Amino acid sequence: MPFINAEVAAKTDYDVIVVGSGAGGGQMAYTLTMGGARVLMLEAGRNYDPVAEAAMFQTPEMAPLRGASTPDKPFGFYDATVDGGWQVPGEPYTQASTDETQRFDWWRARMLGGRTNHWGRISLRNGPYDFKPRSRDGLGFDWPIGYADMAPYYDKVEMLIGVYGANDGLENTPDSPEGCLLPPPKPLVSDLLVHKYAGKLGIPVIAGHRAVLTRQLDWKNSPAKLHPGNPAAQAIIAADMKRRGACFWTTPCGQGCSIRANYQSTTVHLPPALATGKLDIVTDAMVNEVTLGKDGRASGVHFIDRTSHRNISISARAVVLAASACETVRILLNSKSTQFPHGLGNSSGKVGKYLMDTVGSDLGGQIPLLESLPPHNEEGVSGLHMYVPWWQYKEAGKLGFARGYHIEFGGGRRMPGVGTATRLEWLTGGSYGAKFKEDARRYYGSFVGFAGRGEMIPNEKSYCEIDPKVKDKWGIPVLRFHWQWSEHETRQAAHMQKTFADIITAMGGRVRGEVKTDGAKAIEPGGSIIHEVGGAIMGDDARTSVVNPWCQTWDVKNLFLADGAPFPSNADKNPTLTIMANSWRVADHILERMQRKEL
């Protein structure tokens, strides 16, 4: 039985305990079990089966409030996330300041698969510059590894999970080797218009990269590249690749995919890992501490079984935390001992420091060219057929902010929702009656939205720590957040607004709402984009970083981190693909050390 209860797990011998079941934990469990290690995965939330539970074809009139977002379901009723959001009942976090601009809102998903159930599936590689940002502009930190170290793992992850895209040969926007990418979906008419008119402004518009199978994975050739010399692993993944369906061009990915055509940990990483027979999973296991042995090594973890409320300790030869950057930090800081009075792995005092999110700002416009078009199906892969990579590397230093952003955009005649045909007064002059119905038809599908996603530079004022007083309902001390954007981020957000307005205008369109020229108003609050990384950064020096280049804590040799916590920078590229590539890299290293009997 792969899904087991806490008592059974406590009596079993494991090589590695993996805390967390999302992108980092899923990849870790996959690579370790394929490599022969016996793994226990602990997930704080409930079990979740997207094949049985995903509400794919449900339409808004079947849902409460027509599926509108609520504080319970911030991304709409049918969003696949359950037991998650910016607030989780009974599990608070606190803000160090009452200043609204200094708050960090922490998104969590307490469920098997974690945030991979919800994410946008945007899968961009960091480029060579993104690993060495300090060398380029003197700000933030370099990674102790470079693009060449990560590239083979990007290749593998793309082949394993299935990522569509194209190779455009653009600066710091890496191409993938032959055989890695699936073909991109055909652009929508709105994409083609952005391509044409943004192109006239010198802004490149290229195929998006998302983890969606635009055709079946290459189960004949990829397995040997993924697991050279390991026929058992090749057979397992070939069989699983055959079972995953290709996209059938309907339903939003965020509602989950029962045919397994997109990546979420539960449909891609966990099934083959379970097929090895080497993986056990305990859900509802709220890990609060990594326990320390007398030899100074991690002896295992301690967790609270949320169903029985019992305290349980489990041991293993090595522990990997992949609980999401902030939860990993929380576990480390709550793991106090005489040897590590300020938390495990925290000799540097850097645990919790350099927390980052992504700079976000958006703006939409109405495009007369798109009005009253002949009806046609525009669902496609439900997002990002095309995008704009950062295009002004040559202008760095002249823009007033150091780092770049990419632009995600989208239009189309989508499934009407509660926002459809609303807020039209600025176009209609306040029509109602028969005229309003005509206006609704005319403007439906004529809007294009632009969202900037930019790099935040780590700073001393953005971090989390343990709140000295507040505990959650399990009695576990909670995180307290400190947050501050620098001008590098706020100016970038203002630049995004101007760029979006320029593109909309070039398309002959009209901007909807206000173009925010004040960056402090243009920028989304910290945590909004849900790209939390940092907090336990990797480096070459034990005094200034928490983990070494292998994401092994400097203090405890058999404790590794495999989520976004070790990121020393947060490139504009969405972090998930890099979390997976890095996790595979770390997993390979753990396997090697185990073979050398070092763990």
Among positions 53-72, residues that touch another protein (CB under 8 A) are 53-55, 57-68, 70-72
Question: Within 562-581, which residues bind another protein (CB under 8 A)?
Answer: none
Binding mask 269-288 for another protein (x = CB under 8 A): --------------------
Q: Which one, of 281, 266, 274, lies nearest residue 236 by Cα?
A: 274
Reference 281, options 289, 273, 293; nearest CA is 273
Residue closer to another protein by CB (options 399, 506) is: 506
With contact defined as beta carbons under 8 Å apart, do 105 and 524 qualify?
no
Scanning residues 190 to 209, which ones bind another protein (CB under 8 A)?
192-193, 196
Distance of closest approach, residue 86 Cβ to another protein, in angstroms: 6
- The single-letter DSSP state of residue 371 is T
**Residue placing its CB nearer to another protein in the complex, 394 or 423:** 423
Judged by beta carbon, residue 10 or residue 261, the one nearer another protein is 261
Q: How far is the CB of 311 from another protein (least distance, A)?
A: 24
Nearer to another protein, 396 or 440 (CB): 440
Give 164-224 as a DSSP string: E-----BTTB----TTSEEPPPPPPHHHHHHHHHHHHTT---EE--BSB-SS---TTTHHH
What's the closest the beta carbon of residue 23 comes to another protein, in angstroms? Answer: 21
Range in contact with another protein (rule: CB under 8 A) among 273-281, 305-313, 427-435, 548-556: 427-435
Residue 64 or 293 having the CB closest to another protein? 64
Window 22-51: contact mask with another protein (x via CB under 8 A): ------------------------x-----
Tell me how far apart the terminal alpha carbons of the chain are, to the nearest angstrom. Answer: 27
Q: Give 12 or 59: the residue with its C-beta nearer to another protein.
A: 59
Closest approach of another protein to the CB of residue 285, in Å: 17
Q: Which is nearer to another protein, 379 or 465 (CB)?
A: 379
Q: Which of 229, 429, 468, 475 binds another protein (CB under 8 A)?
A: 429
* Of the candidate residues 22, 113, 185, 534, the single one contacting another protein (CB under 8 A): 185
Considering the rule CB under 8 A, would residue 416 count as an interface residue with another protein?
yes
Radius of gyration of the chain from its Cα atoms, rounded to whole angstroms: 24
Give the phi and the psi of residue 246 in degrees, each rounded to 5: -80, 160
Structure tokens at 293: 């042995």
Tokens 């049985």, residue?
52
Binding residue for another protein (CB under 8 A) from 38, 73, 121, 573?
A: 73
Interface with another protein in residues 512-551 (CB under 8 A): 525
| Residues near another protein (CB under 8 A), total | 81
Question: 40 vs 259, which CB is nearer to another protein?
Answer: 259
Give the SS3 label for residue 383: coil
Among residues 182, 241, 130, 235, the alpha carbon closest in space to that of 582 is found at 130
Nearest alpha carbon to residue 246 among 223, 284, 218: 218
**Smallest separation, CB 424 to another protein (Å):** 8
Provide, rounded to whole angstroms, the least separation between the CB of residue 184 and another protein. 11
Lookup result for tokens 């190779």: 167
Report the nearest approach of another protein to the CB of residue 210 (Å). 14
Site string for another protein, 227-266 (x = CB under 8 A): --------------------xxxxx---------------
Among 156, 413, 531, 593, interactor with another protein by CB under 8 A: 413
Nearer to another protein, 105 or 130 (CB): 105
Question: Which residues ranging from 93 to 112 are in contact with another protein (CB under 8 A)?
Answer: 100, 105
The 3-state DSSP class for residue 574 equals coil
Q: Nearer to another protein by C-beta: 338 or 422?
A: 422
Report the alpha-carbon distance of residue 385 to residue 186 in Å, rounded: 7
Closest distance to another protein from the beta carbon of 581 (Å): 28
Structure tokens given for 86: 């910016």
Q: Which two tokens stand for residue 51?
A: 């094949």
Cα angle, residue 266 at apex, residues 261 and 267 outer, rounded to 5°: 25
Question: Could you tell me which stretch among 52-60, 201-209, 272-280, 456-464 binds another protein (CB under 8 A)?
Answer: 52-60
Cβ nearer to another protein, comparing 71 with 341: 71
CA nearest 264: which of 82, 412, 62, 450?
82
In a 3-state reduction of DSSP, which class is residue 467?
Answer: strand
Per DSSP, the three-state class of 242 is: helix
**Cβ contact 419:391 at 8 Å:** no
**Nearer to another protein (CB atom), residue 13 or residue 61:** 61
Q: Is 15 in the site for another protein (CB under 8 A)?
A: no
Alpha carbon 544 to chain centroid, angstroms = 26
Q: 475 exposed, middle or buried (CB, 10 Å; 0-12, 13-18, 19+)?
A: exposed
| DSSP one-letter code for 415 | P
Smallest gap from residue 563 Cβ to another protein (A):
22
Among 11, 294, 394, 423, binds another protein (CB under 8 A): 423
Q: 14, 30, 78, 584: which one contacts another protein (CB under 8 A)?
A: 78
Helix ranges, 335-466 (H)? 425-428, 434-443
- Min separation Cβ 421 and another protein, Å: 4
- In 436-577, the DSSP E strands lie at 447-454, 463-471, 477-482, 510-512, 559-561
Phi and psi, residue 434, nearest 5°: -55, -35
- Other C-beta atoms closer than 10 Å to the C-beta of 460 total 9
Shortest Å distance, C-beta 298 to another protein: 32
308 three-class SS:
coil
* Shortest Å, Cβ 431 to another protein: 7
Does residue 19 contact residue 42 with C-beta atoms inside 8 Å?
A: yes
Provide the minimum distance between the beta carbon of 433 and another protein in the complex, in angstroms, as a whole number. Answer: 6
Q: Should residue 166 be labelled a site residue for another protein when binding is judged by CB under 8 A?
A: no
Window contacting another protein (CB under 8 A); options: 271-279, 306-314, 436-444, 511-519 = 436-444
Closest contact distance (angstroms) between CB of 286 and another protein is 16
> Which residue in 33, 575, 587 sits closest to 324, CA to CA?
575
Strands (E), 34-149: 39-42, 84-85, 94-95, 108-109
Contacts to another protein from residues 348-407, by CB under 8 A:
369-370, 373-381
Least Å distance between CB 470 and another protein? 14
